Every structure is written in C-alpha cells, then in structure tokens.
Amino acid sequence: MPPNLHSLLLVIVILTTAGCAREQDEAVEAGDEIAPEIKVYKASMDGAPSTIDPVQASNVYANAVVLNAFDTLYRFKYLARPYEVTANLAAGMPEISEDGLVYRIRIKQGAHFIDDPVFEGGAGREVVAEDFVYSIKRHFDTTQRPRGAWLWQGRVVGLDAWKDAGSDYDEQVEGLRALDRYTIEIRLIKPYPQLVYTLAQGYAAIVPREAVETYGREFGSRPVGSGPFRVISYDSARIVYERNTKFRQEPVDIWAEGYDPETQGHIGVEAIHGRSPPFIDRLEIHFIAENAARWNSFTKDNEIQYLTVPNEQFDNILASKDPIVANPEISEKYHMRHSVESGFVFINFNMDFPEFGYNDDPERERRNKALRCAIIKGFDWARRNESFYFGLGRVFPGIITPAVPEFDPELSEESVTLDIDGAKKLLADNGWNEDTIPEMVYGTTAGVSQRMFYEQFRGFMKKIGYPPGKVVLKQYATFGDFVKDTSNSRLPIVSKGWSLDYPDAENTLQLFYGPNGSPGSNDANYKNPEYDRLYEQSAVMLPSPERTEIYRRMNQMVIDDCIAISGLSRTRIYLWHKNVIAMPDREIVSGFYLRFVDIAAEDG
C-alpha cells in the first residue's frame, strides 16, 4: 500500500478516536456514567421536540420535555380521569371576580430556579410573580419566535396593544401584572373560562428573564427553569435530566390526585403517598420515531422502560380486544394501561372551494351539500378503524370527542354509519354522475401509511360511484408544506388529527368558528352565522348544563351541514416495566406524570 494511503488511514483513525473521546467527555460531563444505586427511568416518545423553550412548546413532545424542566402555575392531576386541573406553582386555584374578568393568583413562596451562571453568584433565585408576567409577555414579542399567543390574544387587557407598541418589557400591561412579589393579577377583556387550562400548558411555563436575555435563542437548548428536573443533555436522540434537588417539597396525596384503587390499585402508586416528588434521580426521554426500534428496545428489558405500543404490535400483545386484555406473557412482564385519546382524526371539506362548498349559485350550493353528505355516507369508519387502528378506535359522530365532559353518548350515529345505497341515491337525486362529479385533490404528506389512507378513501368513494380517477393524490415532502397549503386554503379536503389542548369541547368547536378560517385552524372555512353566534355566546360561559346544550347544538350543525367526515378517537395502549411505579400518559399536554414516577427496589 502506498505510504499516502497509510497516512490517510491514520488520519481517519485519529479523527474517529477523537470523536469517541469527545463524546465520552461530554457523556461523563453529562453524568452519563450511572451509579448502580441511582434510580433511572427511561421513557420513550414516538417523536422529538425541536426545542425546550416554553415559548415554542407547540406539541405533545415539546410539552413533555418543557413541563419537566419548568414550572407552570397549574397542572393536571396525576391520576384523575377525566382530567382535572390543580395548583402547581400557584398556591391555590385563582380568586375570580364575580364578573369573571379579574383573576388573582398567589404563587408559592420559596420556589427557586436551578443554579445557573446567569444568576448572581450562580445560585438560582426565587421564582416570583414578575417571572410569570415576563413569560407570558414573551408570546407577544416576535423576536422570541413565539407560538402560544393564540391562547391569550384578544383576551387580556392591554396585551395586544403592548405588542403593537413594540413589546417593551419594561412597560406594564394593564391586564397582566405582578401586584407584589407573589401575587399575579390577570384582567380579561371578556370572560375566558378556559384561562386556567391555558396556565397548565407548556406555553405558560415560567422562565427567568435574565436567562432568556443572556442566552438569547440558545435558551431553547439551555433551559433554566424551576421544574422537578434539570436538563443535563439534549440532542436529537434523547433528553437527559437529573433530579432538581431544589424542587419544592410537597408530599403527594394520591387521593387528592384522583386515585381510584379499583382501576389503579395494580400499578403500585400507593407507594408514593406522603412522599415528595420527584422520586427518580435521573430521567431519560428517548425520541424513537421508528416503531420497530422502539419495540425492540422496550422488550430488551434493560433499555427503555415505557412505550406507547405501536399499532402493529396490538395483535401480539392482546388476548382480547373487547374488553382489552393483555395476553398472559405480557401481563406477567409488564404493566398495561389503555385509554381513548383526547383528540381525534377527521376529514374536513374546505367550504372555500366552490366545487364542494359555498357557491354563488344557490342551486349549486345545495347540490354541493348533497355531494358532501353522500361522501360522508360512503365513508366506512368501521373499515378504517379495523384497517389502521386494530378495531380499537372509538368512532363517534361530530366533533365533540368522547374525552370531554360535553360528549353526548346518545347522539345519533347516522353520520358515521356506512350507507352506500343512501349515498348513491343522494348523488343521483342531485344530478351527480361520473361526468359531473368534480375532481377532488386529496393532500397528504409522503409516506406509506398516508398513501394507504388515500387508497382506502378512494376505494370508499368508488363504491358510491365517485370515479377513482377524480380522487387525485397530492403528496407533500414535509408536514410543513402540507400545513402551508391547508393554511392557505389550497386543498378541497383536509385530512387531519387534532390533539386536545385542554379537556373542554371548546377546543374542537373553535375548529369550525368562522373568524378562525384559513390561515387559522378552521381550515374547513365553515362560516355559519348561527354557529359563530353560539360559539361566542358559549365562549364566555363557565361549564354548565346550559353551555353543554349550546356545544351540542353547534356539534349538530356541523353534522347537519356535512362539513366534516368525523370522527375517530384512537385507543392508545401503554406498556411499562413492572419495576416502574407510574401511570404513564401522553394526552392533553402530557409530561406531568413524570415527576411522580418511582422505581421499585430490586427485591420489591
């Protein structure tokens, strides 16, 4: 071999070794060499957050990581289902004025941020009311690249004006103030019953101003919070935390957390009663998008200890689908829990398209409605459920999901029942045939599953006489491109999934509120004055039978106007190792459960 080749090989070896050494150094720095007596919990998620900055905590993955590094005023109870809010950093539930416009919230004294060089002397300072005010203001400062302003815009007195005036943090906002070191006051423009829910979101997590100002956008990878854990390393494969030793000591009352011995007695959470979380020394969340890798890692028994079971494994782990029962081998090795997701999957018609939705010609508009209704009748939810969700999904009519208290179990299921003859008749009665039926562009991101969804949809349509050649696939390379087109109202139908931000049907009803039309979340561009009036009326109402009645009327309008093919809530199955004491969850904002996780002793 020529000497030059020897040299090249030598260079490669040196570079490679340097790479290992570097990784090694960082790993050790990050506390990666784990002492045997350390309690470690390794969770997994099927996606990764792009940042740990609360101001960008826009999805379930980001919330899961943010809520463990930072504090929020409120959180969801660990064990209570349906979900209930409880105080977190707040000293209690807010004092609300009689007109529902003024909220006063006391925060707990003695909570501290983690130690960081940004603080004087490096010791984390106390969290104060002004930190909360600053954290919310960030959503109204475009330089922070915020994503959560929608929760509070048009709601808090003076906040939008503060932004319009240039987002000067030294300027006070009339409706968002720290009255003293530990008291927050929020003044609303109109009542906002979901406000407390918004304060349990990752978006509302509390950050110290000095850290944000010192680190700038790097704050997204150098979090400084007051949550139960402290981030020690973060990359595209995992995030590693260690216990925040300064986290406030608050013994858990499992009864107050909603403990139900009948359904939760087997998971061992009684062991944490009376103790102060967090109970583990080290938390790792592994981001594993690939189902096979996640499953192999979980079943190996010394890697990840928890996963949301991939659909393709349902067949292998279940002895029975109804009721859902694990097979003996799985029951022996793992804890299992299942729940219907809080959100749902559905397909919207975009009413902006004159071929399917609103039309200047009233006669055509009437025929369009018949066309939409026929498509809905031809959609086989049972088959969709069986093909893609192992038959475990919960099919329901309308847009109020089974997870919220306003769900109506008695509602007619006609809109989710296959009726091919009815669909054909509807088409024929309204002059739709192979020649007159409009072309329908079905947009989706590139991927095998997405392609299968499309093919099945096209098959359903073929059965009602919709020519397959007129159901045209448009694939997008990335989800961002797909969102761009839906946001710009460029697709006649929009297939989507929606995860609930909070357990209130308002969160899905707003998807059809006229003013939220494209580029907003109403990508059906449904504009029904009566619906909008009811939405505005209910939006300021506290939970009550009267409000539920209004919600249900709005739901019926969406069904009657044939605006969406809806819907199905997927069933999620969670598995975790027997030595892990936990009730894992990934619904609503997820992530709060991790502070309550404990690891049983070897002999326990």
Partner 1 sequence: MDVLKYAIRKLVGGIPLILGVTFVSFLLMVYFGPDLTFEMLGKNPTPEQIAEVRKELGYDRPFLVRYAEYLKELATLDFGLSDSSGEPVSAMLLRSIPISLALVTPGFILGNLLGVLLALVAAYHRSGWIDKAIMGFSVVGMSISFLIVIIAFQILLSSSYGLNLFPVRGWNVHSLYDYVMYVTVPTLASVFVALGYNTRFYRAVIVEEMTRDHVRTARAFGIRPGKLLYKHILKNSAIPIITRIMFSIPLVIVSGSLLIESYFGIPGVGKVTFDAITTGDQPVLKAVVGLTAVLFVITLLLTDIMYRAVDPRVSLK
Subset of residues 62 to 121 that bind partner 1, contact rule: CB under 8 A = none
Give the nearer residue to partner 1 in terms of CB position, either 143 or 249.
Answer: 143
φ/ψ (deg, to 5) at 313: -95, -10
Position 172 contacts partner 1 (CB under 8 A): no
Report 509-538 residues binding partner 1 (CB under 8 A).
510, 516, 519-521
CA distance 600 to 39: 9
Position 316 contacts partner 1 (CB under 8 A): no
Give the nearer residue to partner 1 in terms of CB position, either 558 or 559.
Answer: 558
Using the contact rule CB under 8 A, the part of the chain among 96-104, 109-117, 144-152, 418-426 near partner 1 is 144-152
Give the nearer residue to partner 1 in terms of CB position, either 381 or 531.
Answer: 531
CA distance 307 to 317: 13
CA distance 171 to 174: 10
Q: Which tokens sit at 475?
A: 């694939």
Position 579 contacts partner 1 (CB under 8 A): no
Report 19-58 residues binding partner 1 (CB under 8 A).
19-20, 22-24, 26-28, 32-33, 48, 50-51, 53, 56, 58
Q: Which tokens sit at 339?
A: 């729940």
- Using CB under 8 A, pick the residue from 54, 94, 124, 148 that binds partner 1: 148
CA distance 92 to 76: 13
CA distance 232 to 114: 12
Position 397 contacts partner 1 (CB under 8 A): no
Position 281 contacts partner 1 (CB under 8 A): no
Give the nearer residue to partner 1 in terms of CB position, either 217 or 553.
Answer: 217
Size of the residue set binding partner 1 (CB under 8 A):
72
Position 448 contacts partner 1 (CB under 8 A): no
Give the nearer residue to partner 1 in terms of CB position, either 289 or 319.
Answer: 289
Least Å from the CB of residue 463 to partner 1: 34
CA distance 439 to 428: 17
DSSP string of 431-442?
Answer: T--TTTSPPEEE
User: Per-residue string for binding with partner 1, 469-488, x by CB under 8 A?
Assistant: --------xxxxx-xx--x-
Give the nearer residue to partner 1 in terms of CB position, either 72 or 297.
Answer: 297
- CB count within 10 Å of CB 301 equals 11
Report 216-275 residues binding partner 1 (CB under 8 A).
216-221, 235-238
Least Å from the CB of residue 554 to partner 1: 17
DSSP string of 69-110?
Answer: HSB-SEEE-SS-SS--EEESSBSSSPEE-TTS-EEEEEB-TT
Strand partners, 564: 348
CB 411 within 8 A of CB 566: no
Least Å from the CB of residue 299 to partner 1: 5
CA distance 176 to 156: 7
Question: 40-45 and 282-287: which strand pairing?
Answer: parallel
Give the nearer residue to partner 1 in terms of CB position, either 217 or 321.
Answer: 217
Tell me, what DSSP letter sits at residue 517?
A: B
Using the contact rule CB under 8 A, the part of the chain among 269-277, 297-305, 386-394, 586-594 near partner 1 is 297-305
Q: What's the N-to-C CA distance of the chain in angstroms?
A: 61
Least Å from the CB of residue 328 to partner 1: 17
Position 312 contacts partner 1 (CB under 8 A): no
